[in-house]
Structure formats: C-alpha cells, structure tokens
A = this chain, B = another copy of it.
C-alpha cells in the first residue's frame, strides 16, 4: 500500500461524492421536484458545483499529484490515473474565479434568452447573449490552449484527444458518401409505418420499456427508470445508475428508442469497475464512446430484425389491435424509415449525421471566428437546403432547436456521430467474435453481447484513449467505412436501391 496513492484515492472519492450529490439534485429537478423548488434548487446546485471546483484545485490534491507524478513504483493503471488527474487538475487551475463567474452568468443569460427566442420564434432575441457567450468560448480556447485548431480545446472536454483536423476528414466522408446514399433512398417509395402512430396507452408502454431494459441486462437493483420531459441517464456511482424516458401515447417510437438508448448508456455505467469509484479508471472514456454504447443497442441491436422477431409477439400481445397483421419484417421496415427532416432529435439513423455535420461546420467556424452569430440563421438554413434538401420555415424549427449552445456546450455535437460510427465498428467486431450473435438476440439472449461489451469496453474504465480502445478491440482506429457498410447492407435490403455490389 502506497499511502500517498491512498490519499489521492481518498481525495478523488470525496470529490466524486460531491459531484454525485450534485447529480442527484439534477436528477430530482428533472423528475420529482415540485415546481416552486426551482430557484432554491438552482442555487444549491451552484453551491455544490463551486465546492467541487474548489476540491478539484485544492493544494492538498496538488501536493499528492506532484508527488505521484514521479513515483516509479506505481503500476500502469495507477500511472494512467495520475496522468489523467494531473491533466484535469492543470486544466481546472487555468480558470480564474472571475472567468468562471463571467461564463456562468453568460450561460444563464444565454439560456434564458434562448428559451424566450424559441418561444417567440425569433433568433434576434437570442443573438446578443449568444454573441457574448461565443466571445467567452473563444477566450476559453485560448485559456485551455490547443495545438492545431482552437476548436480542439472545445472538443477535448467531451472527446479527449479528438482533433478538428481528423473530424474534418471524417465529416467530409459523411458528406460525400452519405448525401448521395440518402438521395437514392429518398427516390424510393416510402415504407408504411402508420401503425406506430395509433393510440398506445402509457402504462402498457411503461411496462414494455421495463421489460426491454431487463432483457438488455440492465440491473434494477442498481438502477431505476422514471419519467422526465427529456430522457437522460445519470448515475451516483456504478451501483446507482438511473434512466428516464418519456412516453407519447400517439407515437410508439418515442418511448421505445429513448428507453433502449438510455439503457445502453446505463449498461456502460453499471459495468464500470466499482472498486475504482471516483478515479479515472472508474470513468467512461469519452462521450463518443459513451454514445457508442447507446447507439449500438438502439441501432445495431434494436433497429434490427432479430430483435423484433423476438420481441414483436409480446408487443402484439399488449397492443393486439394496433399491430394486427404486422409482421416482424413490416415492423422492421417501419422503424427504419429514412426521410430528411428538420429536427435532429427526430431524425432517422442516416440523416441524423447531416444534422451533426451542419452543427460541426458551424461551431468550428464560429470558434475560429470565420462566421459571426448574426449570420447563423442564414448559414443554418443554407446548409439544411444543401445537405437535406429542406427549406427551414422558422428559427424555432431551425437554428433555435437545440439547447446545447445556450448551455455553453460547443464541441459536444460531434460525439453523437462518433458514437454511431464507433458502434458500427464495434458491432461488426462483436458479430465476428460472438458465435451466432444475431441468433442469440433473436432468442432474447443479450447476455453474450453484454459480456463482450463488459470485457472489452465497460471494465476498462478510462485506461485507454478512445482511439487506443478502438484499436485494441477492432485492430484499427475509427473508420467510417464500417458505418457506410452497415448502412448499405441494411438499407439496400430495406429500399429497392440501385446500389453497387453489396458485400458483408
């Protein structure tokens, strides 16, 4: 036992305790808090956030980290923890109290004016606050520092060691390959999915959602599902990982995909090593890898035929009238309808990436200063026309649709696409390594897949970078071709496309 390392663990565990308490305040705010509690709750969250910040830059922690930085007796895992904690510590130290408060104020103003602007469908109400926020974000990039592009500093917060240059190449692939492919689909007759929009009573949907989570291997002794207006996953350690969902009685898609998606996130958190509480080795790798877990379950597993061959009978038992005559194949077609649309969160799994691409291009340009806030609606609308062929009828359905910028989250959007692309590459590998994977899924046995994810991803914590994790598992770094291959095979069978030869 190394007493300095033990002290380090104790300090990080204490920091995690405060952060998890803050996470519970947030969870409660979104689920059960009575509405009059909002003001005091915001203040309580802010106080805990300040305490967590103080703990993350404490002289006590600094002393311990500097001692351990040069401790050659540490094992590999311990060395990696110290390196990552030092990176976090040095990053946190760069922020002055004045800057943090200025940013916090700017975010609060931007969030309020974004809400008003969205309500009033008028971007100009949001522009002044967003301008101030973007200016601060540009400053933040300088504070953090970067090697290549200033946007690298933003990306690093969500996707450590991702670079703007790499993402630019990746999204160029998305644009060139996916735009054409979706155009081919759009030229085909559309799949029938009207039965998804019949009346599905909430309580039956709720219980079906719980069954899907159980089948995936979600542990209800270490988690629970509740309702909230926006579905999310949160956790207070790996033994208490909670998901939320929302239910629309006139759209069966709503609950289904949010439930499976959040379930995928939750399985990752439940699989992180309990003994590493509060340490980097007990944390997820990056948001992109986190998203790979939700997307893998949502798209590769559940938007697939074997999953519904298994689960459609039970669903038909619950909603016999709605689904009379619907076959697994018909259901599979309905849930994989591809159609350009205005709102990112409602997009199908292909056109989704155009939404991200547009945001990536805009964020990058905003941060480098080559475009300005006032031009956003024009630029937004032009890109939606170019990539999705759509006319944006209003700011509310366009540039004002997402909460992210008003929260100061620049650099977050790309992780959604990264998640899908990693998922395709991981799932492809899982198919090769797990005997009869899809036959097991068709039997409702998700265990082999979950075990595979546990072994290769969940149990590793943050020991590897996203890139190295991907290389370890698949033999190469992220490669967009796996997603395109998945898309071509799947949608080539779902729509009568004039495609090149398909190999699998």
Contact = CB atoms under 8 A, between A and B. Distances in A.
Contacts of A32: 32, 224, 226
Nearest to A237: B40
Task: Tell me what chain A mostly uses at the interface: helix, strand, loop, or mixed.
Answer: helix
A459 to B, nearest CB: 17
A333 B25 CA distance: 45
A24 interface: yes
Given A17-B43, A18-B48, A240 B36 contact: yes
Nearest to A19: B44
A16 to B, nearest CB: 8
A41 B236 contact: yes
A48 B219 contact: no
Residue of A17, A20, A28, A237 with highest tally of chain B CB at under 10 A: A17
A221 B17 contact: no
A28 B226 CA distance: 13
A39 B13 CA distance: 13
A344 interface: no
Tell me the number of copies of this protein. Answer: 2
**A interface bracket (residues with beta carbon within 8 Å of B):** 35 or more
Nearest to A238: B40
A219 B36 CA distance: 10
B236 A36 contact: no
A220 interface: yes
9 contacts: A17-B43, A18-B51, A21-B24, A34-B239, A36-B219, A37-B240, A39-B239, A41-B236, A41-B240
Given A14-B47, A34-B220, A40-B236, 5 more contacts: A32-B32, A32-B226, A36-B239, A39-B239, A40-B239
5 residue pairs, one from A and one from B, having the closest CB atoms: A37-B240, A17-B47, A36-B222, A40-B237, A36-B239
